[in-house]
Amino acid sequence: MTDWPAVVREYGPLVWRTAYRLVGNDADAADCFQKAFLGAVGLAAAGPVRHWGGALKRLATARALDLLRARHRAAARAVELADPPDPRPADPPGDAAAGELAARLRGALAELDPLPAQVFCLVALEGLSNTEAAAELGVTANHAGVLLHRARATLREKLRAFDPAGEPP
């Protein structure tokens, strides 16, 4: 029998950080947090879980990517309305550019296949090595490296238009 309060207490911050890093706001991170732990209940019912941290990080990453994909699909269907003028002064250009880049990165991640997106998130955003990411995803280290290379190449191409100099990164 799993001691869920202990699992949430120990791994909750890890799940929260993983989800928040990808979705970028509290409400969506909370949804991903809940969905990750619901998925963990299903995993525990199927059999013993040997590494809760890895399993929960993988579940949080998958739920966050699902949310980004859904958001991306909804944005593609939505009609953009003109924003009313803002009476407050505009954000500093650096903050605006960083926010736009983060939004474009989230959109580009949502368009990637799930496995390369997960490898990219684990390695580039979570700081895991290729070997650690491979272990979490159940693939070989070489396969994780290939998936990471492909994800980076695809993201580089999708974000090339964001480069103000127009030069390849």
Give one word for 166, left, alpha or beta, with left for phi > 0 and alpha for psi -120 to 50: left
List pLDDT tens digits, range 92-126: 666 666 677 778 888 888 888 889 999 998 898 88
When pLDDT is cut at 50, 70 and 90, the band that residue 10 belongs to is very high
Provide the 3-class DSSP secondary structure of residue 1: coil
Q: What CATH topology corresponds to 100-169? A: Arc Repressor Mutant, subunit A (1.10.10)
Provide the 3-class DSSP secondary structure of residue 39: helix
For residue 38, pLDDT beyond 90: yes
Domain ranges of the chain: 1-77, 100-169
